[in-house]
């Protein structure tokens, strides 16, 4: 990516470093890399970042991109939204967001790199959760994306008929497990807002809005209030597991339906929505 700025009267007299870190919004890490790789030019000439700029000068920053070790792959995945800095995909259930220690192909990042070789995931979803995942186009956008604040809404099929309202229960790692979380007074404050959409008493379709972003928060909170997400093999009860088997729900019925944020470049509000690729919202319509 190439960033350019013509210096205006408000920036005249400031240093290149001030301009890069200010109006051009370049992270300190990227600027350090650029200084050693000769990617900063003022009026076509390489200059030290301590040099002052004048009105009318043209400052160019070539964003350094590290080669990605992940191989691009073609995949059947839905492109939900795209612009010059970011794009969003509808992650299928059963797909990892990015490679792990034992899985290095068939992930959403593999597919995203086919669309843009500089793609980097901004948010992530559990393997069996489907829905909106945002990607940045390159290191500069990724640095901006790391500072974004998201509003998220999920849809889930849960056991029983939970009460609407806020679930404010602290969450901690359950020792000695590396993965499992549990409600604990020693945990981090966690808040989820739950709305009941449809129910037949045995199971319910709910809307979940996480205010905090703890690992497995929605799954842990639903279990804690007695309504585990159906199909969840980690956070379940005997009754929820039995109903999941009866209904044929084999992966957690959780879908990231929408992701909203203020665009870090344009300042516009962006709302990205994804219809579930699984049929649990239709097949089990209550």
* 215: DSSP letter: T
126 among known catalytic residues = yes
End-of-domain residue from the set 148, 166, 199: 148
Residue 77's pLDDT is what? 92
State the pLDDT at residue 276: 79
CA-to-CA distance for 164 and 244, rounded, in angstroms?
22
Q: Express each pLDDT in 142-153 by its tens digit.
A: 999 999 999 999
Q: How far is CA 185 from the centre of its chain?
A: 28
Residue 286 pLDDT > 60: no
From 18, 57, 83, 126, active-site residue: 126
> How does the average pLDDT of the chain come out, rounded?
92
Calculate mean pLDDT across residues 203-229: 97
Three-state DSSP at 5 gives strand
Is 191 domain-assigned?
A: yes
pLDDT in tens, 240-274: 999 999 998 988 999 999 999 999 999 999 999 99
Per-residue pLDDT of 181-191, as tens digits, reads 999 999 999 99
Domain assignment of residue 14, yes or no: yes
| Same domain (yes/no): 102, 24 | no
pLDDT of 81 reads 98
In this structure, the answer to whether residues 219 and 190 fall within a common structural domain is yes
Given a contact cutoff of 8 angstroms between Cβ atoms, the answer to whether 154 and 258 are in contact is no
Q: Tokens 């010059």 map to which residue?
A: 84
277 in a structural domain = no
Please report whether residue 279 resides in a domain.
Answer: no
What's the total number of domains in the chain? Answer: 3
Question: Could you tell me if 70 and 57 lie in one domain?
Answer: no
Confidence at residue 278, expressed as pLDDT on a 0 to 100 scale: 62
User: What number of other Cβ atoms are within 10 A of residue 46's Cβ?
Assistant: 11
- Answer yes or no: is pLDDT of 8 > 60: yes
Q: Are residues 13 and 76 in the same domain?
A: no
- At 118, which CATH number? 3.30.2350.10
Range of the domain at 185: 151-255
Work out the end-to-end distance of the chain between its first and last CA atoms, rounded to an integer number of angstroms: 49
Around 131, how many Cα atoms within 13 Å sit in the side-chain half-sphere?
21
Instruction: Show the CA angle centred on residue 91, arms to residues 87 and 94, nearest 5°.
Output: 155
32 vs 58, higher pLDDT? 58
Is the residue at 275 inside a domain?
A: no
pLDDT confidence of residue 238: 97
The pLDDT, as a whole number, for residue 106 is 94
- Residue 279's pLDDT is what? 61
51-86: per-residue pLDDT in tens? Answer: 999 999 999 998 888 878 899 999 889 999 999 999
Question: What percent of the chain has a predicted confidence (pLDDT) above 90?
Answer: 80
Same domain, 134 and 173: no
Q: What is the CA radius of gyration of the chain?
A: 23
Mean pLDDT of 143-169: 96
- Cα separation of 35 and 124, whole Å? 32
């Amino acid at each position: 990516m190439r960033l350019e700025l013509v210096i205006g009267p408000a920036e005249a007299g400031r240093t290149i470093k001030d301009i890069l870190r200010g109006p051009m919004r370049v992270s300190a890490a990227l600027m350090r890399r650029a200084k050693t790789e000769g990617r900063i030019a003022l009026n076509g000439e390489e200059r030290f970042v301590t040099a002052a700029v004048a009105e009318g000068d043209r400052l160019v920053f070539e964003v350094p991109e590290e080669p990605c070790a992940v191989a691009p792959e073609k995949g059947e995945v839905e492109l939900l939204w795209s612009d010059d800095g970011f794009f969003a995909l509808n992650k299928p259930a059963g797909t990892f967001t990015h490679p792990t220690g034992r899985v290095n192909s068939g992930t959403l990042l593999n597919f995203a790199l086919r669309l843009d070789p500089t793609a980097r995931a901004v948010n992530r979803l559990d393997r069996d959760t489907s829905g909106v995942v945002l990607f940045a186009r390159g290191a500069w956008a990724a640095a901006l994306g790391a500072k974004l604040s998201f509003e998220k809404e999920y849809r889930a099929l849960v056991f029983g008929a939970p009460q609407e309202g806020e679930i404010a229960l602290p969450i901690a790692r359950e020792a000695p497990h590396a993965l499992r979380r549990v409600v604990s007074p020693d945990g981090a404050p966690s808040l989820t807002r739950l709305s009941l959409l449809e129910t037949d008493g045995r199971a319910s379709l709910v809307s979940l809005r996480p205010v905090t972003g703890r690992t497995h928060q929605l799954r842990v909170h639903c279990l804690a209030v007695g309504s585990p997400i159906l199909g969840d093999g980690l956070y379940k009860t005997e009754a929820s597991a039995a109903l999941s088997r009866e209904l044929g729900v084999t992966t957690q019925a959780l879908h990231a339906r929408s992701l909203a944020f203020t665009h870090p470049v344009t300042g516009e509000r962006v709302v990205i929505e994804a219809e579930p690729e699984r049929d649990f919202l239709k097949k089990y319509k209550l």
